[in-house]
Chains A and B, each alone.
Chain A
Amino acid sequence: MNFFTHFGRYLLMIKGMFSKPENMRLYWKELMHQCNEIGIRSVGIVVIISVFLGAVTTVQTAYQLVTPLIPKTVIAVIVRDNIILELAPTLICVVLAGVVGSRIASELGNMRISEQIDALEIMGINTKAYLIMPKILAALIVVPCLVVLAAVLGIWGGKVAGNLSGILPPSIYNDGLLEDFIPYNVFFALSKTYTYAFIISSIPAYYGYHVEGGSLEIGRASTKSVIVSCILILLADYALAALLL
């Protein structure tokens, strides 16, 4: 299948999601379930990665700033902007593409192979609306929250690492955080996050929903969905930076 066939089927899948829900209460329940699966279950990995990202960025920035002419508050400025502009949205979403994306693709793939999707279709349920829409909506709700959490923890991690390693005291770090802060950067980071959230939920859903064959294909679809999501995240990262900065 070529690129255009995949793209056409992907667009048809997105179009097919929009229909009147058969039962709003069950759709809401599914949305909440997906918020829990995508959001709460990813908190652990996001916390660990973001704290260490901040810590490493602080230590490495300090290592590169060898001249005493540059004030130490610059370290905090660099850590803050790096975390907000790039590391929290992009890196965390690449990780989520692996964690959440593979789960979505394998869940839907397994449902397809074991005829559970057919069973829902036969009942008269729009499976694209019931199975895919809540996943995308949940990702759009919880991924920005995770990224904001990652940004806060990343900056905090930088402060702790700077203090523990004796690079800069917390008071100077705090001063640096307030220096030349541009609120637009937060808007830019959130714009990227929403784009990535859509990618990391809809691409795996596409690959999982259209699995054909056996259990081997579920694994392949899962791997493929993570690869494609990561590539699209990086492409979108560049495109949004070129457009919005």
Chain B
Amino acid sequence: MIEIKNISKGFNGRTVIDNVSATLETGKCNLIIGASGSGKTVMMKCLIGLFEPDAGEVLYDGDSITNMNEEGRKQLRQQIGMLFQGSALFDSMTVEQNVMFPLDMFTKLNLKQKHEKVNEVLARVNLTGANDKYPAEISGGMKKRVGIARAIVLNPKFLFCDEPNSGLDPKTSLVIDKLIKEITTEFGMTTVVNTHDMNSVMEIGDNIIFMHQGHKEWEGSNKDIIFSKNEELNKFIFASDFLQDAKDMRMLEAKGKIKTDRDMDEMTK
């Protein structure tokens, strides 16, 4: 579990995150959503310790990363896996070498054991047989899956995903979302996803934190989002007329006003 306690962060006198508190639960997909510039990336960097918050603290299973020394952070980071927006695969290494890198660095497994582990995680992300390919030779969706494989190869307790669907087509996005959701449940991890992809929000959002102008505007699950009356959230989530219509339809359906196809035709006229 990750607890965020009153964190604030600013740059050059401008506040980017303003007194945000939240609890990110284990075994759930916790989504941080918000428009560009709302502070979600800074928030994620504060969570993983790449930025120091100006105030407040972040607790990993009760231990504050903010007050940890460098050695403590190193230990903690070995329990963290991260999928980057651009996958951040090492260009000079093959898929297998990329996934094996954390094992080489932090474990004393022999080569055979490492190969077995790598093949196991590659099979888990449906990339069997791609071992010898270089990042330049594989598609964006495959790169993301290699990124996930590398992130989970050490069985981390915490998984962070920064814009996992950026640059992917809707179908591949769904595959990635499904994979993140399955892995979270399977490994019992605390997963934090930074996204503004609405499909992800509705598909995997067990716990959603909506950031607006640096503060936490709303928090709830993907089931609550449809019925939320928060104006800023609605403006963000249902930005297009199409999505607004879909939401209205869903609400009417929930209120029992649409029961048959004929009702639906009447409504959409």
Q: Is A23 an interface residue (CB 8 A)?
A: yes
Cα(A180)–Cα(B80), bound, Å: 65
Type the 1/0 row for B147-166, where 1 means its CB is closer than 8 Å to any CB of A.
00000000000001000000
Which of these binds chain A: B70-78, B119-127, B239-247?
Answer: B70-78
* CB proximity of A159 to chain B, nearest CB, Å: 41
B88 touches A115 (CB 8 A): yes
Q: Known interface pairs A115-B84, A115-B85. Does A123 touch B105 (Cβ–Cβ under 8 Å)?
A: yes
* CB proximity of A110 to chain B, nearest CB, Å: 8
A118 touches B104 (CB 8 A): no
A22 touches B82 (CB 8 A): no
Residues of A within 8 A of B74 (CB): 22, 124, 126
* Residue of B75, B88, B89 contacting most chain A CB atoms (<10 Å): B88
A119 touches B105 (CB 8 A): no
A124 touches B84 (CB 8 A): no
Residues of B within 8 A of A110 (CB): 91
B85 touches A23 (CB 8 A): no
User: Which of B48, B89, B91, B104 meets A122, CB within 8 Å?
Assistant: B48
Q: Is A141 an interface residue (CB 8 A)?
A: no
A23 touches B84 (CB 8 A): no
User: Which of A22, A23, A115, A125 meets B86, CB within 8 Å?
Assistant: A115
User: Which of B73, B85, B86, B160 meets A124, CB within 8 Å?
Assistant: B73
Residues of B within 8 A of A23 (CB): 104-106
A22 touches B80 (CB 8 A): no
Residues of A within 8 A of B78 (CB): 123-124
Type the 1/0 row for A108-130, where 1 means its CB is closer than 8 Å to any CB of B.
00100011101101111110000
* CB proximity of B113 to chain A, nearest CB, Å: 16
Cα(A124)–Cα(B65), bound, Å: 13
Q: Is B90 an interface residue (CB 8 A)?
A: yes
Residues of B within 8 A of A19 (CB): 70
Residues of A within 8 A of B84 (CB): 115, 118-119
Number of interface residues of A (CB under 8 A): 17
B105 touches A114 (CB 8 A): no
Q: Is A65 an interface residue (CB 8 A)?
A: no
Interface residues of B in 30-84 (CB under 8 A from A): 48, 50, 70, 73-78, 80, 82, 84
B88 touches A114 (CB 8 A): yes
Q: Is B102 an interface residue (CB 8 A)?
A: yes
* CB proximity of B265 to chain A, nearest CB, Å: 49
Q: Interface majority SS on B: helix, strand, loop or mixed? A: mixed
B88 touches A119 (CB 8 A): yes
| Number of residue pairs spanning A and B whose beta carbons lie under 8 angstroms apart | 52
Cα(A125)–Cα(B102), bound, Å: 10
Residues of B within 8 A of A123 (CB): 77-78, 101-102, 105-106
Residues of A within 8 A of B85 (CB): 115
Quick one: closest A residue to B162, CB to CB?
Answer: A115
Cα(A122)–Cα(B90), bound, Å: 14
B104 touches A26 (CB 8 A): yes
* CB proximity of A204 to chain B, nearest CB, Å: 18
Cα(A23)–Cα(B102), bound, Å: 11
Cα(A122)–Cα(B147), bound, Å: 13
Residues of B within 8 A of A114 (CB): 86, 88, 91
Residues of B within 8 A of A126 (CB): 74
A118 touches B75 (CB 8 A): no
Cα(A151)–Cα(B75), bound, Å: 49
User: Which of B50, B106, B160 meets A121, CB within 8 Å?
Assistant: B50
Quick one: closest A residue to B102, CB to CB?
Answer: A123
A22 touches B105 (CB 8 A): yes
Residues of A within 8 A of B104 (CB): 23, 25-26
* Residue of A26, A110, A116, A124 contacting most chain B CB atoms (<10 Å): A124
Closest 8 CB pairs of A and B: A124-B77, A115-B88, A119-B88, A124-B74, A115-B84, A122-B82, A124-B78, A23-B105
- The chain B residues found within 8 Å of chain A, CB to CB, are 48, 50, 70, 73-78, 80, 82, 84-86, 88-91, 101-102, 104-106, 160
CB<8 Å pairs between A and B, sample of 13: A22-B74, A22-B105, A26-B104, A26-B105, A110-B91, A114-B91, A115-B84, A116-B90, A121-B77, A122-B48, A124-B74, A124-B78, A126-B74
